[in-house]
A = this chain, B = another copy of it.
Amino acid sequence: MLIALDWGTTSLRAWLLDEAGAVVDSRTAPLGIMRVADARFEAAFHEVCGAWLAAHPGVGAIASGMIGSRQGWHEAAYVDCPAASEDLAARLLRFETTSGTRIAIVPGVALRAAVPDVMRGEETQVLGVLPAGGDGLLVLPGTHCKWVRARDGRIEWFATFMTGELFAVLREHSILGRLMEGDTFDEAAFVRGVDAGAAQGSVAANLFGVRTLGLFGEIAAAGLHSYLSGLLIGDELADGLQRIGSDRTASPLLIGEPALVELYRRAFARLGVAAWAGDAAAALRGLRRIAKAAALA
């Protein structure tokens, strides 16, 4: 038996797996690392997994995500690119809880460059869906969207786009947000935003269009949030595709929350790129795979 934990900033997902890796039980709790008071992670772990620990004495756990960050339970040092499942398995941060449960935390991955980049949690999702020896481009939409290029089954390169966080702060705290009404998706406004964002020009300049298109009545107040969403995603996609350049040999695979994956799929389609929707259970698959490589399961 093994407990698998996808422990991020806002939530904790936990699965109890049998010897064959099949899910016996699962739980989700709003106990992400930013929501655990006084960093009492062991208490949070017991709150979610206590019944499993009691029923299966000696069961261990593997965890990925922000739980391994400096603000998490124990810091798991980054592994540099290129990184395969075996590299992460070899560098698991292992410790025991005060009650003797063995925990292994998957390290994040770093890209050393003039401006470095990092991921925590996404590496497990990527390696969960990537076939052994596989190549390709993966895009993981979210607060901080990751573009990941894999080669020979390894994470070779990646880039982070703060698209989701930009959308949230602009909507909640800028003058643009004050012009918006409701949150019903407006397809036409979204597509217009994708086109504007993907066209040449800085986001800082294109953003003001949210205001002027509203001011001149070209987009209704109820459609402005979709326009902003399209604008930011269009900008990201154009920039990401340019970075990938001639290395773009296959359709990108999208991994993430289904509604967000669908937005990205539509935006990619608008730019003439057919993107796949990947397995929503990527994190669990990755945890299983790394646990197997580390002979934990």
Interface of A toward B, CB cutoff 8 Å: 115-118, 144, 159-163, 165-166, 169-170, 172-175, 196, 200-209, 211-213, 215-216, 218, 232, 235-236, 238-240, 242-243
Distance to closest chain B CB from A81 (angstroms): 13
Residue pairs across A and B with Cβ atoms less than 8 A apart, 30 shown, are A115-B212, A116-B212, A116-B213, A116-B215, A117-B208, A118-B211, A118-B212, A118-B215, A144-B208, A159-B205, A160-B208, A161-B202, A161-B204, A162-B174, A165-B174, A165-B175, A166-B207, A169-B169, A169-B170, A169-B174, A172-B173, A201-B239, A202-B203, A202-B238, A202-B239, A203-B203, A204-B232, A204-B235, A205-B239, A205-B240
Chain B residues near A236 (CB, 8 Å)? Answer: 202, 204-205
Copies of this subunit: 2
Known A-B contacts: A160-B205, A204-B239. Give 6 more (CB < 8 A): A115-B212, A116-B216, A118-B211, A144-B208, A165-B174, A173-B173
Chain B residues near A172 (CB, 8 Å)? Answer: 173
Smallest CB-CB separation from A203: which chain B residue?
A: B203
Chain B residues near A212 (CB, 8 Å)? Answer: 115-118
- Cβ B162 vs Cβ A208 within 8 A: yes
Complexed CA–CA distance, A159 and B205 (Å): 7
Chain B residues near A117 (CB, 8 Å)? Answer: 208, 212
Distance to closest chain B CB from A109 (angstroms): 12
- Cβ A115 vs Cβ B204 within 8 A: no
Complexed CA–CA distance, A175 and B71 (Å): 13
Chain B residues near A173 (CB, 8 Å)? Answer: 169, 172-173
